[in-house]
């Protein structure tokens, strides 16, 4: 009997791994469906109560609202980004925007002591390196523009993934509680401990998604507003790029506004460069350094440095999903070890 039970456990493990392997190409769609449902579940539960527990109708309303308020605006913004990126790349390819000249102007503006320091560091041939970067950038843009900006063969995959995500979200909104109870019943763990861990998981996912998305959108919008005021071209493109890079804590948005500020200073537009640096550090950077740890760490009761390193590590390991999975794994690590130490002392 024991051998049969062991064989059955091995079979369960193999079948589970095989199922995970089958679903792996749709990992992103499944992951975001679960994450969005966890974040929106309190709203869906209240809506279901107001509708007399008509879960089908409540799930349909949630999906419709998600489409109109999240998906549709996202596609409209992406359309504007593609249009601006096309114009920018066309200007680079036509020579209207000369990357080589831009890099050279930055190099020429460096003070003598910094050039001497570059010589001592073996970077004296920086001009050739910058020109190589400019040539490579231009070539890369020209080669990859069709792949990046025009969905091409990825169009089908994009809409399949979106369809799977929305389809799964509907059933999770409708049957999520029942599915969660079945998962809990299958886990051989004390009920109180399991409830605490699942509660921690929900709190961390909600805090991370809402906190990181709110901070990144706020940083991107503030950065775009500053760019618009200073007359920078392709404002929507840079706004979206700053929002995406803001998912990386501390220095994310600075990867966009920093080079622009240096370009202003190098070309003699001192007031714009100084204004952008002050604005970036005092406004954009302050939001990242204060609001993100407070929004994420406050709810999860994680130290700010744990939120930071787990977010960076998660993005490096899992890609864009890592800004959620990193803090979630860190919070579960802290919760499990805290519970274990408490029980070991009891």
For the chain, the average pLDDT equals: 75
Average pLDDT over residues 107-115: 61
The first and second tokens of residue 305, run together, are 């440095």
- CA atoms of 22 and 49, how far apart (whole Å): 36
Rg (CA), the chain: 25
- Check if the beta carbon of residue 262 is closer than 8 Å to that of residue 273: yes
pLDDT band at 304 (very low <50, low <70, confident <90, very high): low
CB atoms within 10 A of CB 291: 15
- CA atoms of 91 and 234, how far apart (whole Å): 12
Confidence check: pLDDT of 284 > 70: yes
- Check if the beta carbon of residue 165 is closer than 8 Å to that of residue 70: no
Average pLDDT over residues 164-169: 90
- Check if the beta carbon of residue 103 is closer than 8 Å to that of residue 266: no
The first and second tokens of residue 222, run together, are 């503030």
- Check if the beta carbon of residue 263 is closer than 8 Å to that of residue 111: no
What is the predicted pLDDT for the residue at 337?
78
- CA atoms of 28 and 22, how far apart (whole Å): 13
pLDDT band at 86 (very low <50, low <70, confident <90, very high): confident
What is the predicted pLDDT for the residue at 212?
75
pLDDT band at 16 (very low <50, low <70, confident <90, very high): confident
b/e code 175-195 from CB counts within 10 Å (16+ = b): ebeeeeeeeeeeeeeeeeeee
pLDDT band at 63 (very low <50, low <70, confident <90, very high): very high
Confidence check: pLDDT of 150 > 60: no
Residues 199-251 have pLDDT tens digits of 777 777 777 777 777 888 888 888 889 888 888 877 888 888 888 877 766 66
The first and second tokens of residue 16, run together, are 């589970």
Domain layout of the chain by residue ranges: 28-98+150-186, 192-346
Confidence check: pLDDT of 181 > 70: yes
CA angle 190, 41, 33 (to 5 degrees): 95
Sign of the alpha-carbon torsion through 64, 66, 67, 72: positive
CB atoms within 10 A of CB 316: 11
What is the predicted pLDDT for the residue at 118?
57
pLDDT band at 10 (very low <50, low <70, confident <90, very high): confident
| Cα 115 from chain centroid (whole Å) | 37
- CA atoms of 229 and 226, how far apart (whole Å): 5
- Check if the beta carbon of residue 311 is closer than 8 Å to that of residue 165: no
Residue that the structure tokens 């999240």 belong to: 70
Percent of the chain whose pLDDT exceeds 90: 4
pLDDT band at 170 (very low <50, low <70, confident <90, very high): very high
Average pLDDT over residues 312-328: 77
CA angle 121, 127, 133 (to 5 degrees): 105
CA angle 218, 221, 227 (to 5 degrees): 140
pLDDT band at 64 (very low <50, low <70, confident <90, very high): very high
Confidence check: pLDDT of 326 > 60: yes
């Amino acid at each position: 009997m024991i051998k049969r039970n062991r064989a059955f456990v091995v079979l369960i493990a193999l079948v589970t791994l095989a199922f995970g392997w089958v679903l792996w190409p749709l990992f992103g769609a499944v992951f975001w469906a679960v994450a969005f449902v966890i974040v929106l579940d309190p709203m869906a539960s209240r809506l279901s109560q107001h509708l007399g527990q008509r879960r089908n109708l409540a799930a349909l309303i949630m999906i419709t609202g998600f489409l109109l308020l999240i998906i549709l605006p996202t596609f409209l913004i992406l359309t504007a980004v593609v249009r601006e990126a096309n114009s920018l790349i066309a200007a680079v390819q036509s020579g209207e925007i000369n990357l080589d000249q831009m890099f050279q102007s930055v190099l020429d503006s460096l003070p003598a002591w910094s050039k001497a320091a570059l010589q001592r560091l073996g970077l004296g041939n920086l001009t050739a390196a910058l020109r190589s970067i400019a040539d490579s950038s231009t070539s890369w843009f020209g080669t990859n523009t069709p792949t990046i900006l025009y969905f091409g063969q990825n169009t089908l995959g994009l809409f399949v993934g979106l369809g799977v995500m929305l389809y799964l979200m509907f059933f999770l909104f409708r049957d999520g509680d029942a599915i969660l109870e079945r998962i809990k019943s299958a886990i051989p763990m004390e009920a109180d401990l399991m409830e605490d861990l699942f509660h921690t998981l929900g709190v961390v996912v909600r805090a991370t998604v809402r906190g990181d998305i709110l901070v990144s959108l706020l940083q991107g919008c503030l950065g775009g507003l500053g760019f618009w005021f200073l007359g920078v071209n392709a404002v929507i493109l840079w706004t979206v790029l700053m929002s995406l890079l803001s998912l990386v804590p501390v220095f994310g948005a600075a990867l966009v506004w920093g080079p622009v500020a240096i370009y202003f200073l190098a070309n003699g537009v001192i007031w714009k460069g100084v204004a952008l640096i002050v604005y970036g550090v005092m406004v954009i950077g302050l939001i990242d350094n204060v609001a993100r740890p407070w929004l994420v760490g406050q709810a999860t009761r994680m130290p700010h440095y744990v939120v930071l390193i787990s977010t960076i590590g998660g993005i490096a390991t899992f890609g864009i999903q890592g800004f959620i999975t990193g803090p979630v794994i860190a919070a579960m690590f802290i919760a499990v070890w805290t519970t274990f130490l408490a029980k070991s002392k009891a």
